[in-house]
Amino acid sequence: MGIRPKILFCATVDYHFRAFHLPVMEWFQQLGWEVHVAARGGLALPHTDRKFDLPIARSPLSRSNIKAYRMLKQMIDETDYDIIHCHTPMGGVLARLAARQARAKGTKVIYTAHGFHFYKGAPLPNWLLYYPVERWLSAHADCLVTINEEDYGRARKAGFRSGIIAHVHGVGVDTVTYAPISDEEKRTRRERYNYGPDHFLLIYAAEFNANKNHRLLIYALAKLKTRVPGARLLLAGEGPLLHECRALAIQLGVAHLIEFLGYRDDLDELYPMCDAAVASSLREGLPLNVMEAMACGLPVVATRNRGHSELVDEGRTGFIIEPHDVASFASRLQLLHYFRDSRRRMGERSAERARRYSLEQVMGELGEMYLTFMMDRVEETERVRWNVR
């Protein structure tokens, strides 16, 4: 048996791969490739032949990134990688820089932008710092993958110098696992979680940080509580602002209406029993949490940003609200509560729209992109087997 081809996946933290990229890693392994991962963290990841724990920091000013760069460069220079695919801002910066010598020898470098930090309406410092860096680094990648239309259009118009500028529909939502359930199953599941038919269940799964903007939801619930007594807000996730949000809920008198669920791995069970999904973040590339909720047949009330606006069809699958407009956010939720037939139709359209972001769709798009760089490694029979053209 010949030497197995190798691919290196790199990101700032290893849970990024657990959350978003395991199907792709499995795909490579099943094609006979050796899969390596480089990121910060000690998670044991499936579909991984080797894993490297690097001290990559999110802040570009952290000195630990210098050490991480040196470790990554040595690792790349000593290993004959066929493809390096990097993700996240700092993981993408360090990998593209560290792979320059390897790329000159034939290694193909791919970078997925999960949402540029420069975007329409972004603060000026973001444009001054991130735009020139990404434009310069684009010359050090054979392919730039974007996951929303705004980033794709900007990369093409701004003359980013990657060999290929591709667009895929996010990271893919598993529309088999995340799917609507019958009314009977919904009642049964609610009983299991101690909710009744009169509860109006709202759900948001996101890390508690400043960007996710949970405060908007808590303030909106405070306005909604007298109008919709059965309203309950389910917040799944952890993060640095969790305790602050708990304190705000107590201050506004809505702590008894909110369930802080912590980290959950059963969102496919929780979404379908809810009435609507909410999403309050200030910045998104193309959020998986919203796609999963839509796949489960939920209408979505979300704040205006490029990721939400691309997913949510205003008035048809949900509503888009300005990021700090508490009154409008609460009023749209009240509309969804009272007009149940409209809510149901919106949910049905959500599930239909989510199919364009399905894992099957995205794997096909990614497969076509990967095959551009691995044609000599993959037989025609394998291309047919994995449904890539």
pLDDT of residue 387: 54
User: Is 347 found in the same domain as 296?
Assistant: yes
Residue 122 pLDDT exceeds 90:
no
* Predicted confidence (pLDDT) per residue in 224-278, tens digit: 999 999 999 999 999 999 999 999 999 999 999 999 999 999 999 999 999 999 9
User: Is 192 found in the same domain as 87?
Assistant: no
pLDDT of residue 95: 98
CATH number (domain holding residue 33): 3.40.50.2000
The mean per-residue pLDDT over the stretch 349-374 comes to 95
pLDDT of residue 374: 87
pLDDT of residue 375: 72
pLDDT band for position 389 (50/70/90)? Answer: very low
Residue 337 lies in a domain: yes
Mean pLDDT of the chain: 94
pLDDT band for position 165 (50/70/90)? Answer: very high
- Which residues are CB-contacts of 176 (< 8 A; sequence separation ≥ 6)? none
- Whether residue 100 contacts residue 140, with contact meaning beta carbons closer than 8 Å, is answered with yes
Residue 1 lies in a domain: no
Residue 178 lies in a domain: no
User: Is 194 found in the same domain as 96?
Assistant: no
Of 92-101, 114-123, 175-184, which range is least confident? 114-123
* CA–CA distance, 294 with 282 (Å, rounded to integer): 19
pLDDT band for position 3 (50/70/90)? Answer: confident
Residue 82 lies in a domain: yes
Length of the chain: 389
Cα 62 from chain centre: 25
User: Is 328 found in the same domain as 344?
Assistant: yes
Residue 383 pLDDT exceeds 60:
no
User: Is 168 found in the same domain as 250?
Assistant: no
**159 residue type, one letter:** G
Residue 384 pLDDT exceeds 60:
no
- Whether residue 371 contacts residue 388, with contact meaning beta carbons closer than 8 Å, is answered with yes
pLDDT of residue 358: 97
Residue 63 lies in a domain: yes
Residue 381 pLDDT exceeds 60:
no
User: Is 369 found in the same domain as 352?
Assistant: no
User: Is 336 found in the same domain as 203?
Assistant: yes
pLDDT of residue 385: 52
User: Is 154 found in the same domain as 58?
Assistant: yes
User: Is 110 found in the same domain as 196?
Assistant: no
User: Is 37 found in the same domain as 106?
Assistant: yes
User: Is 201 found in the same domain as 191?
Assistant: yes
Domain of residue 239: give its range: 183-356
pLDDT of residue 266: 96
Q: How many domains does the chain have?
A: 2
Residue 372 pLDDT exceeds 60:
yes
The mean per-residue pLDDT over the stretch 320-330 comes to 97
User: Is 42 found in the same domain as 52?
Assistant: yes
